[in-house]
A and B are shown apart, each in its own frame.
Chain A
């Protein structure tokens, strides 16, 4: 199987080929105006920017929707007290500090 690196290199090669075809005019609309030529020339830049923006939005969204669980902490604290009492009864000696 191909490594992820190889997969990315292949995909990159395919995209590069497509872009070069666009630049050379082999793949182009009937009357390529200035806008199209500009877009074609800067396509990789625009794609990179779009991907960067999408990534940033995704990570920000995931940070904002990160689930906090204070109740889990509260339950744990209570459970620890119960555990300590029970263990002490069963003969466990804790260190002086705990």
Chain B
């Protein structure tokens, strides 16, 4: 069974749409799933939306929690876990592809890649965002040689025990956490497959999401990983 853990903050509008799409695409592919919604105390009624969805889709399949990120893992019942963004930038239609990839390649982890593979792509990124993304990725590839094309991506399928082990051994947060998981996974000998995905950025935060301090955090995290792994 596949547990989809969705960390949410103020996703009252996107959450129902995402759940609808998960049900549509995983249902069509006959994939047994449950959705664990981990809400970080959203003031916009996200938890109330989660309750409504549990009634519509059955409380067996939708669980809403109010705890911090990844404590959802304790409550997840599946033997596989999918982590993805809850703002519709990640499309559930790629989940069946990840499942198939994991089976055909016997991978421990399958990660979505926005950068490589037929059908990958990004919508809504301006030139500045693309430059920062490619530059940051280039640096990470050069320093860490991770063997994964999209290091900061957050749309991934894990075997449950693999994710548990990684979460227990990683210490960083945000972008760097995503990188650290991939790097540690390789060190622990786990195999990682990739599936090209499209990333639709509708948020258009512009500068606020990738400002100077975010970049500094990223570099600090990158250098820490460089020096310790």
Contacts and interface: CB of A to CB of B under 8 A. Distances in A.
A69 B115 CA distance: 12
Given A62-B134, A90-B56, A67 B120 contact: yes
A4 B229 contact: yes
Contacts of B53: 92
B198 A79 contact: no
Contact of A63 (B21, B52, B130): B130
Interface residues of A, number: 31
A4 B222 CA distance: 11
Interface residues of B, number: 40
Contacts of B91: 72, 76
B210 interface: no
Interface in A72-89: 72-73, 76, 79-80, 83-84, 86-87
A91 B49 CA distance: 12
B71 to A, nearest CB: 27
Contacts of A55: 138, 142
Contacts of B13: 94-95, 97-98
Given A3-B227, A4-B145, A66-B130, A72 B200 contact: yes
A68 B123 contact: yes
B215 interface: no
B227 A59 contact: no
A68 B122 contact: yes
A80 to B, nearest CB: 6
Contact of A91 (B56, B127, B200): B56
A30 interface: no
Contacts of B144: 4
Given A59-B138, A83-B17, A87-B16, A95 B45 contact: yes
Contacts of B171: none
Interface string B199-229: 0101000000000000000000000011111
Contacts of A97: 13
Contacts of A80: 17, 88
Interface string B85-128: 00010010000000000000000000000010000111111010
A3 B228 contact: yes
Contacts of A87: 16-17, 20, 56
A92 to B, nearest CB: 5
B31 interface: no
B134 A86 contact: no
5 contacts: A4-B225, A63-B131, A68-B121, A80-B88, A83-B20
Interface of B: 12-13, 16-17, 20-21, 44-45, 52-53, 55-56, 88, 91, 115, 120-125, 127, 130-131, 134-135, 138, 142-145, 187, 198, 200, 202, 225-229
